[in-house]
Amino acid sequence: MNGISLTIYLAVFWFLTESSGAETVMFSTKLIHRFSEEVKALGVSKNRNATSWPAKKSFEYYQVLLSSDVQKQKMKTGPQFQMLFPSQGSKTMSLGNDFGWLHYTWIDIGTPNVSFLVALDAGSDLLWIPCDCVRCAPLSASYYNSLDRDLNEYSPSASSTSKHLSCSHRLCDLGTSCQNPKQPCPYTMDYYTENTSSSGLLVEDILHLISGGDNALKNSVQASVIIGCGMKQSGGYLDGVAPDGLIGLGLGEISVPSLLAKAGLIRNSFSMCFDKDDSGRIFFGDQGPATQQSTSFLASNGKYITYIIGVETCCIGSSCLKQTSFKAIVDSGSSFTFLPKEVYETIAAEFDRQVNDTITSFEGYPWKCCYKSSSQRLPKLPSVKLMFPQNNSFVVNNPVFVIYGTQGVTGFCLAIQPVDGDIGTIGQNFMTGYRVVFDRENLKLGWSHSNCEFFLLSSFHISPPLGRLHNGNGQDLNDGTKSPLTPGPGTPSNPLPANQEQSSPGGHAVGPAVAGRAPSKPSTASTQLISSRSSSLKVLPFLLLLRLLVSAS
């Protein structure tokens, strides 16, 4: 039962209805957790060994619970499918300002395997990494505050399992420009912002994964994936954003989830969990718990090009607002959230009414709905809730960005930006505290509250390969130390984007993410997205400004 054994006590109450004289039965149940004190006492009374009882919220406690979850997941998906995660562990982390507030994870590629710290982006499809570099971001740890070992560069010639994708391959969009169909397939990903791009050659190689279990070596999986050998990067990719590559998790055929599902390794689904300490988890093949809420993805011109959902109503506190329906792209590659202008203005006005304070501005910060704080703690803030069909709701746990000065908290802003057009972007700040499931098989988005703790189990205890990680404050991210949701006092920051740089030519909302998209171009089952996909780099301008901000605080 989702890792929880329940002892059920049934009390039967008999009531006689005066009108009919018929007997009506009502069953009342008391549900008891398998590791509760009641069950422990029962075991002791029956001379069972209770000394091995796992302490609540201990490592062993979550180990037993997830072991049961994994078994149930296997029963649900069938024996031929499994849940997979990167061979270096399922953990993801946001390294704060140094890496653009995005979530990253370690992956291993090739034979022998080489490790890369890649940004996670549900808004694009291609997995690319620095490769045979002509022009790449610095890979030396001395360039970054969050690393103490160098990042790696990939070389196809150094991997015995690597082979070039030929120009004749059906996924090679630039194949018609090749002089010979047997030539290696070139790719170019152009971004509208800051002359940002990645280009090189497409190759096939092994992505190293493991499935849940006690023996990680026994459960290792080697999956063939398509990789962008990124020889030349420009713009934001040279300035600390995704310096070691990016893994696209979109709906296109070339994305890692698509390739794993097509190979029959997983159900066509994946999940990401975003914890309040800027850590998280990623699982391929996870369709989420049966108790999760969900909403369907929406097609664009008859095609499912990205993860678009429809919000029916927005609620601030107990007030659900009229004319606040909108469509939004759910994008893990966007640090913050962007809403259509009219919807934003309605939400901001109601938020301001309930905060009941004077709106102010903080120099350099792009948010318009900001307030000063006269104490070290934030005042009680109204909740932000998104309503979906069938009365499903999504309560935002982290709608504000806290601003720090030399003496601590100096203010906060509603971390939502208005954009032109009718499509917004739901970014990472809205997903904090949730296990978010991108169920591509059933074309729906699922969510359930999670602090990601139960993922921290022995079956995943493989440490990152490139040394210790630190957030912007120098706190170790490998030992469970929590880092703040927003930068602390004295934290160097990344810049925030200018307003004019936050929307794509297609008119869709573009948040501060690494890999954007061209909404006018279909991405699912399309070869165009591989070689010449026009995307919007949402992070760079937004994050270049933030570096100046917090430094100045």
Q: Are strands 7-16 and 23-32 parallel, antiparallel or unpaired?
A: antiparallel
Who wins on pLDDT, 144 or 32?
144
Reported pTM:
0.73
Q: If you search the block for the tokens 């809730």, which residue do you land on?
A: 385
Of residues 117, 244, 95, 235, the one with CA closest to residue 541: 235
The pLDDT of residue 509 is 26
Residues 6+ apart with CB under 8 A from 356: none
Catalytic residue among 121, 239, 244, 439: 121
The pLDDT of residue 497 is 30
Q: Tell me the pLDDT tens digit for each residue of 400-410.
A: 999 888 878 88
CB 530 within 8 A of CB 172: yes
Catalytic residue among 69, 331, 352, 439: 331
Active site residue 420: no
| CA separation for the pair 100, 421 (Å, rounded) | 25
Domain boundaries, given as residue ranges, for the chain:
7-77, 84-293+450-475+512-537
- Among the listed ranges 107-111, 142-146, 238-242, 336-340, which one has the minimum average pLDDT value? 238-242
User: pLDDT-derived band of residue 48, with 50, 70 and 90 as boundaries?
Assistant: low
Who wins on pLDDT, 490 or 430?
430
The pLDDT of residue 472 is 40
pLDDT at 37 over 90: no
Active site residue 205: no
pLDDT at 450 over 50: yes
The pLDDT of residue 68 is 56
Which CATH class for the 84-293+450-475+512-537 domain? mainly beta
Of residues 253, 197, 205, 252, the one with CA closest to residue 535: 197
H or E element: which one contains 311? Answer: strand 308-311
- Among the listed ranges 118-122, 147-151, 306-310, 453-457, which one has the minimum average pLDDT value? 453-457
| CA separation for the pair 269, 82 (Å, rounded) | 11
Report in angstroms the alpha-carbon separations of 57 from 3, 4, 53, 456. 14, 14, 12, 11
Q: If you search the block for the tokens 């009506």, which residue do you land on?
A: 24
| CA separation for the pair 140, 28 (Å, rounded) | 63
Q: Tell me the pLDDT tens digit for each residue of 262-315.
A: 999 999 999 999 988 888 999 999 999 999 999 999 999 999 999 999 999 999
Q: What is 477-515 written as a DSSP string?
A: TTTT----SS--TT---PPPPPGGGSB-TT--B--SBSS
The pLDDT of residue 341 is 97
Of residues 249, 252, 247, 207, the one with CA closest to residue 228: 247
Q: Which of 31-45, 115-129, 173-187 has the highest mean pLDDT?
A: 115-129
Q: Tell me the pLDDT tens digit for each residue of 115-130.
A: 999 999 898 899 999 9
pLDDT at 186 over 90: yes
CB 136 within 8 A of CB 130: yes
The two three-digit tokens of residue 106, written as one number: 């370690």
Cα dihedral value 157, 163, 169, 173, nearest 10: -40
Mean pLDDT of 178-206: 87
Mean pLDDT of 156-161: 98
Who wins on pLDDT, 56 or 211?
211
Mean pLDDT of 22-29: 57
Q: Tell me the pLDDT tens digit for each residue of 73-119.
A: 555 545 557 889 999 988 999 887 778 788 999 999 999 999 999 99
The pLDDT of residue 46 is 66
Who wins on pLDDT, 443 or 404?
443
Q: What average pLDDT is seen over the chain? A: 76
User: pLDDT-derived band of residue 49, with 50, 70 and 90 as boundaries?
Assistant: low
Residues 6+ apart with CB under 8 A from 283: 83, 84, 85, 90, 270, 271
Of residues 389, 412, 373, 250, the one with CA closest to residue 309: 389
The pLDDT of residue 34 is 65
User: pLDDT-derived band of residue 260, with 50, 70 and 90 as boundaries?
Assistant: very high
| CA separation for the pair 482, 51 (Å, rounded) | 31
Residues 6+ apart with CB under 8 A from 258: 125, 251, 252, 268, 440
CB 121 within 8 A of CB 247: yes
| CA separation for the pair 480, 58 (Å, rounded) | 13
Residue 296 CB burial class (10 angstroms; 0-12, 13-18, ≥19): middle
